[in-house]
Amino acid sequence: MVIKKYLSGKNRKFDPILKNFERARVAVLGDVMIDEYLFGKCSRISPEAPVPVVEVDRREFRPGGAANVARNVMALGGKVVLCGVVGEDGIGRLATEEFRKNGIDTSALFIDDGRPTTLKTRIMAHNQQIARTDTEKRTEIPETITRKIVKYFMDHLNEIDGVIISDYSKGVVSKRLLDELIPALKKRKKIITVDPKVANFYHYRSVTCITPNRKELSDVLGYPVESDEQLIAGGKSLLCDLSLDSLLVTLGEQGMCLFTRDGEVLNIPTVARAVYDVTGAGDTVISTFTMAAIAGADLKTSALISNFAAGEVVGMLGTSTVAREQILAAIKNYRVK
C-alpha cells in the first residue's frame, strides 16, 4: 500500500519539507472571485411569486477562485502574490483591501473597468442553500491587461519559485497568455501547476502538474472515466499528449491517483476521517502540492502531503484552509495499516 511505503521508517521525515514552506514564493494566476453568503431564516412564501422569503441577519464575504488558492498558500506559511482581474466596483475595492490586510500581495491584481468583480452570492436559510446568483462576465480579458500580466511576470521571474494557475473559465487564462508565460517559466525552471478547465486543457502543455477531478478528466478525454482501467489508460494518455511531468487526478472519497513521466501510477487512498464539506478542497490540494514541490519534495511525496491536507480540510465546514502544523500532526497520527 502506497501510504505504508511512504510513511514507514526513514520515509516518515516530512518535517524539513513542511518547514521549508515558509521560504516558498508563489504567484497565483487566475480568476479572482468573491463568495458572498447571506444567512437568514425562512418562515413564509412571497405573495409576489411562489418563492421563499429569507430574512437576512448575517452577511459574509470570502475569497473564491484564485483568491482562495492564494489564501491557502498564506495559511501554509508561504509568500504569495495574487495575479488576476477585479472590476472597478465596490466589491473589487473591498476584496483588494481584505487581501492586503491578510498579507496577500496585490501588486499584480489589475482593474478591468469593462467587467464586474466576479461575485457568487449564496442565499442560506436554516443551514441550507436555497438559491445562488452569479455576477460575472466570462469573456476574455482585454489584450492590454493580458500584456500587463505578462510584463509583471517577466519583470518578477526571479522573485517567485512557482506559479499556480487557477482557471475557472472567467476570462483571465487564455491561450495567448499561456503561450507566452509557460515557456518563460519553464526556461527558469519554475514549478508550474494548474487547476484546469476543459476549454484550455490542451494549452497547459509541459507544466509540472495538472490536477483535474474525475469529471474534468472524463470531459477532456471525451468518455466516462469510471473503472480503474479507464482511469489508468486515460491518465497515461493525457500525460503523454501534454508532455506533463505529472498528472494528479483527485477522486473524492477514493483519494487520488498520480501519474508521472517515468510511467509509474500511484494510487493514494483518502485519509479523511470525516467528510463534512468538499468546498475548496481542490484549492487546498494544488496549493499544498505546489508548496511541497517548491520545498524540495519529489512528485510522489508532494502528492502524499497534499492528500493529507485534503483529508483535513474536508472535515471543516465551508471554504477552509489548513496549516502546516495540522498536516504534520495528521501524518504523524496516521496509523499505517
Q: What is the pTM of this model?
A: 0.93
pLDDT at position 178 is 97
Question: What's the rounded Cα separation, in Å, for the pair 79 and 77?
Answer: 7
| Best CA proximity match to 291, nearest among 279, 272, 306, 313 | 306
Give every CB contact of residue 243 below 8 A, 6+ residues apart in sequence. Answer: 205, 206
The pLDDT tens digits along the chain (337 residues) read 566 666 654 445 788 999 999 999 999 999 999 999 999 999 999 999 999 999 999 999 989 999 999 999 999 999 999 999 999 999 999 999 989 988 999 999 999 999 999 999 999 999 889 999 999 999 999 999 999 999 999 999 999 999 999 999 999 999 999 999 999 999 999 999 999 999 999 999 999 999 999 999 999 999 999 999 999 999 999 999 999 999 999 998 888 999 999 999 999 988 866 554 455 688 999 999 999 999 999 999 999 999 999 888 765 555 568 889 999 888 888 766 5
Answer yes or no: are the C-beta atoms of 69 and 81 closer than 8 Å: no
pLDDT at position 14 is 86
pLDDT at position 276 is 43
| Best CA proximity match to 98, nearest among 135, 132, 71, 75 | 71
Does 283 qualify as catalytic in the annotation? yes
Structural domains in the chain plus CATH codes: 2-34+65-115+138-333 (3.40.1190.20)
Count CA atoms closer than 13 A to 312's CA, side-chain side.
Answer: 25
pLDDT at position 44 is 95
DSSP-assigned states of every residue in 213-254: BHHHHHHHHTS---SHHHHHHHHHHHHHHTT-SEEEEE-GGG
Q: Which among 134, 219, 283, 298 is annotated as catalytic?
A: 283
Answer yes or no: are the C-beta atoms of 284 and 290 closer than 8 Å: no
Q: Where are the alpha helices (DSSP H) in the chain?
A: 2-7, 15-19, 66-75, 90-101, 143-156, 175-187, 214-221, 228-241, 281-294, 299-313, 324-333
Give every CB contact of residue 291 below 8 A, 6+ residues apart in sequence. Answer: 21, 24, 26, 73, 76, 78
Give every CB contact of residue 157 below 8 A, 6+ residues apart in sequence. Answer: 184, 185, 188, 190
Question: What's the rounded Cα separation, in Å, for the pair 50 and 193?
Answer: 46
Residue 244 burial (C-beta neighbours within 10 Å; 0-12, 13-18, 19+)? buried
Question: What's the rounded Cα separation, in Å, for the pair 210 and 206?
Answer: 10
Question: What's the rounded Cα separation, in Å, for the pair 76 and 287?
Answer: 8
Give every CB contact of residue 161 below 8 A, 6+ residues apart in sequence. Answer: 24, 25, 26, 190, 191, 294
Cell 497547459: give the residue: 204
pLDDT at position 311 is 85
